[in-house]
Structure 1
Amino acid sequence: MEIEKKVLSFCPQESHRGVDIGFVVEKFLIDWGIKNVFTISADNASANDVAIEFLKKFFQNSNKCLLNGKWTHMRCVDHILNLVVQDGIKKVYNPVEIIRWAVKWIRQSPSRIRKFTKFAKLRYDLEEYEFRSDIEKAGLSIPSPSDWQHVRHLCHLLKPFCDVTERIFGTLYVTSNTKMKSTLYFALILDPRNKVKYLVILLEDRYGKEKMEEKKKYIMDSVYELYNDYIRIHSPSTTSSTTGSSNSSSILGKCQNPDATTPKPPLRNKLREKMKTNIVETIGELEKYLKEGVEEDSSMFNILDWWKVNSP
């Protein structure tokens, strides 16, 4: 199973106000008839925070907002990593700026690159007067051995950040923050080859036995919380109340005794008990799935086909 990316809309946005951004996205969702949105990835700009809150209200009005928008805002991990790196570079900014300027200057023309290659074994800044003149005009100094040493150490420090960014920057990778990591645990549990058994192995390997139970409880509580909200949204009682409204109005109009349609307390209690029973049965389906054995892992296994056959 692969993540797919589709561009459904691409439009210029003159205003950077959060409400205006939210309004444009809302219009796009209405035009496409999209009602179910689980998450929206955005960077940490304050305008995006306002836009997400605007859209949460739109989702809540349609009664399709899972957990009142708890998982809606996913902050882009690429942007977070970039902020961390930029903040770190500020601590050693002067050597970095000097080296960066020198490299840009040399790369501006083929002749400079040839000269640099020729004098690389010597002191290029001593041989090339134009280089010394231009770098001093820019308010910088000639790169010193300590500058190169600082930048060398910084490159070694930033290498893991570079590797992570290149890996998650691809269009098919999830680029959201640690909140998305929790939802990835949900996906792991709903993979019949893994379930809770593999989750325990992963958590124990990552956090140790002492913290494993705490992490497991948080994840499983979140799974049940999310699943119960799916029940609220997709339960037959919710859909029947909307689809049967047009027919019920004509029937009620013919009633001679309006009181006959008013639920009596015993009947209302019976209805509540019936609804509780339905919820318990649905939760039982999840419990049943989790208690069943895991499927054999193979290259031929297709998780979507499995759920198509085994969905209740």
Structure 2
Amino acid sequence: MCLTAHWVDSDWILQKRIINFRQVANHKGETIGRCVESWLLEWGIEKIFTLTADNASSNNTAIEELKRKTKRWKHIILDNEFLHVRCCAHILNLVVRDGLDEEVCSITRTRNAVRYVRSSPARLLSFQKCVEKEKLETKKNLCLDVETRWNSTYLMLEITEKYEKAFVRMGEDDSKYASYFDGSSDNKDPPSDYDWLKARIFVKFLKIFYQVTLKFSGSLYVTSNIFFHEIVEIHANLSNLMSSGDMLLSRMAERMKLKFEKYWENYKNINFLLYIAVVLDPRFKLRYVQFCFSQLYDNRKCTEMIMYVETALNKLFANYEQEHSKEQGNFNHSDVQDKNVVGCENSTTMAAKFLEQMREDDQQDSKSDLYIIDDLEIIEELAGEFVCLNLDEDLDG
């Protein structure tokens, strides 16, 4: 089992290190949880916020074991309420594989055609002659996929479908190719016109998930803030494909969308920090999250999800304020107003009045709302001049 640590250093640079790579006695959740705890203790790591693992049931048990063992550590936040992050790339993998399983025969026939060409230099030479006869311009080399890795299946299909005419020509000109697909065993038929049509549709679908998976798998940049945007993008793309005039494309999009929604409908599967990361982004805030929820869910579910996000944000803020007030004293509302709202006090516009009222609200609400007030920057510009909110000073008190 591999344990990798991610953190932001004092220069605000994202760091990543593999801190343990060891064999575990078994795959039971309790065993995995105890191992992770012991490794953290060995390294003297006391500050853990989240732990990302794939969607295996044993990992759920492992996380619960780790929560129980570490919840009383000094620097643990809210008793590890937000510890468990399910690997988004792994979830997408499950969704895609489930969808492809229903079309395995077409993919297998295409795979067998590629396997034949790549099995010997003579066969590859015969195929290249067919490519020349068909005057195909693509220069990419055929690649064989790993059947259990859908991303490699996407790469195989993305290249192979461009050579459809060459494979058809090979069936006409190469007797050995024709005899190889003699139909004597399962899926030993060559790809049909319908299979090639499906291959092109698969490429359209898989490209959506492939590009998102690449973003989720990045290790040189923070990924928590892109999760929500990419999930919404997938949903929108599938909805657009469902509206396609191509019945086959539309049906496949509908099936994939149902599988996609089946997972994301359960709010317990999602760590709400991934939503809060968007709320804290001044370009989007809560209004954007609420809009996206309205596209993903019905009204009741949308309202429920917004409530969960706000509750999680308020919990985190209250915890942050409590911890920092112990060292730095209580928050001085008037000091922050003097330092950070320069330029608004003399304005008579409604925007300025709104800002003044917002600052005069309840102490906790006024500070946490800095993150979720809709169009705050735009409102402040309308008030007369741009106001730079020093959130660090606000939060430190």
Report the TM-score range of the alignment, normalised by the length of the smaller protein: 0.5 to 0.7
Identity percentage of aligned residues:
29
Cα 1:232–1:56 shift into 2, 3 Å = farther
Q: What is the CA distance between 1:23 and its match in structure 2?
A: 2.1
Q: What is the CA distance between 1:233 and its match in structure 2?
A: 6.4
Of residues 287, 290, 297, the one that matches 1:200 is 287
1:227 aligns with 317
Of residues 4, 24, 27, the one that matches 2:14 is 4
Aligned residues: 258
> Secondary structure at 2:17's aligned position in 1?
coil
Cα 1:225–1:308 shift into 2, 3 Å = closer
Unaligned runs of 5+ residues in structure 2 are: 1-7, 135-167, 229-263, 328-361, 382-387
Distance 2:92 2:32 in 1: 24
> Secondary structure at 2:85's aligned position in 1?
strand
1:124 aligns with 170
Distance 1:190 1:157 in 2: 31
Distance 1:307 1:30 in 2: 34
> Secondary structure at 2:16's aligned position in 1?
coil
1:80 aligns with 91
2:100 aligns with 89
Cα 1:227–1:288 shift into 2, 3 Å = closer
Does the CA contact (< 8 Å) of 1:20 and 1:51 recur in 2?
A: yes
Distance 1:98 1:202 in 2: 43
Whether 1:33 aligns to 2:44 is yes
Distance 1:207 1:3 in 2: 35
1:68 aligns with 79
Q: Deviations over 1:221-248 (max 9, x none)?
A: 22112333456667749xxxxxxxxxxx
Does the CA contact (< 8 Å) of 1:56 and 1:65 recur in 2?
A: no
Specify which structure has the bigger relative contact order, considering alpha-carbon pairs within 8 angstroms and separated by 6 or more residues.
Answer: 1
> Secondary structure at 1:9's aligned position in 2?
strand
Distance 1:173 1:127 in 2: 53
Distance 1:202 1:229 in 2: 23
Distance 1:190 1:152 in 2: 40
Distance 1:205 1:50 in 2: 31
Distance 1:50 1:214 in 2: 27
Unaligned runs of 5+ residues in structure 1 are: 238-282, 298-302
Of residues 36, 39, 56, the one that matches 2:67 is 56
Letter in 2 for 1:59: T
> Secondary structure at 2:69's aligned position in 1?
helix
Q: Deviations over 1:255-298 (max 9, x none)?
A: xxxxxxxxxxxxxxxxxxxxxxxxxxxx835634536965989x
Q: Counting helix residues as a fraction of each chain, which structure ranks higher?
A: 1
Distance 1:130 1:72 in 2: 58
Distance 2:367 2:190 in 1: 70
Does the CA contact (< 8 Å) of 2:63 and 2:84 recur in 1?
A: yes
Distance 1:113 1:152 in 2: 23
Q: What is the CA distance between 1:134 and its match in structure 2?
A: 4.1
Distance 2:125 2:291 in 1: 56
Letter in 2 for 1:66: I
Of residues 120, 145, 167, the one that matches 2:193 is 145
2:272 aligns with 182
- Segment of structure 1 superposing worse, 225-234 or 43-52: 225-234
Q: Deviations over 1:189-228 (max 9, x none)?
A: 445x46xx842255236627x6776554432222112333
- Segment of structure 1 superposing worse, 24-33 or 118-127: 118-127
Letter in 2 for 1:200: R
Letter in 2 for 1:204: F
TM-score by length of 1: 0.67
Q: What is the CA distance between 1:94 and its match in structure 2?
A: 0.6
